[in-house]
Amino acid sequence: MNLEQKINKFAEYISQSNNIVFFGGAGVSTESGIPDFRSSSGIYNDNSDENYGVSPETILSHTYFFRNTENFYKFYKSKMLYLDAKPNDAHKILAKLEEKNKLKAVVTQNIDNLHQQAGSKNVIELHGTVKNNFCLDCHKKFDVSYITKSNGVPYCDNCGGIIKPDVVLYEEQLNQDSVYNAISYITKSDMLIVGGTSLSVYPAAYYAGLFFERNYNENKKSVIVNKSETYYDNRFDISINESLGGVLKQAYDKLYN
């Protein structure tokens, strides 16, 4: 199929489905100006970080946070917070599909809160969110503006404890409630849309794999949209290597505009 045929088929799948789940990675937000992690221009390949003396993966780890909190926040504030970013077409179309009771959940690896800003209600944030922060000692909660306004390490205004972003760092476990909910929605869905992820890093491939394993031979649909090809493309009914926002908008417009 050429691109137009794939988009037509994508729209047809949406029209036939009433229990759609979207699973997304960093590529969902690149069109909002937020860099991904592992591409040539991604955060992990930014040579300006050489002065830290360690890799970004090390900086964004549980151990590093507690051993070198000041350097962690220096990196975190400059590389992980994009508070001026706005939802793009992908976020907006997913929110519209939820409004029409087509899409039941967004499962995201992103921490930028853009799905909620676009209007999505049922968002499962596997890696947490920069929006929420908490004191490690008294557990008082703080919004992200408290972090950005602080000089260096942010400390609790109640007890003086160190504040930690409510994001999952390397070496930390995912929230088990989020994991359970993600698996439940994905395996019970009648259509899985995967976007903005190569499915090359655990646990992304695991979640997609569960859809196929538990829906084997059932009349359920799957679509993956990612700018580059993935190892799993041939497992999906449709694979499209284009901009996610553009593809979603075209499919949506064929149905509703």
68-77 mean pLDDT: 96
Which pLDDT tens digit goes with each residue over 136-170?
Answer: 999 999 999 999 999 999 999 999 999 999 999 99
Catalytic residues: 127
Q: Which domains does the chain have, with CATH numbers?
A: 3-33+87-127+174-256 (3.40.50.1220), 43-79 (no CATH), 131-167 (3.30.1600.10)
100-126 mean pLDDT: 97
Mean pLDDT (the chain) is 93
Whether pLDDT at 205 is above 90? no
As a whole number of Å, the CA-based R_g of the chain is 19
pLDDT score recorded for residue 89: 98
Which residue bears the tokens 């972090």? 147
Whether pLDDT at 46 is above 70? no
Whether pLDDT at 217 is above 60? no
Q: What are the tokens at 104?
A: 């039941």
74-87 mean pLDDT: 96
Q: Is the pTM of this model over 0.75?
A: yes
Whether pLDDT at 51 is above 90? no
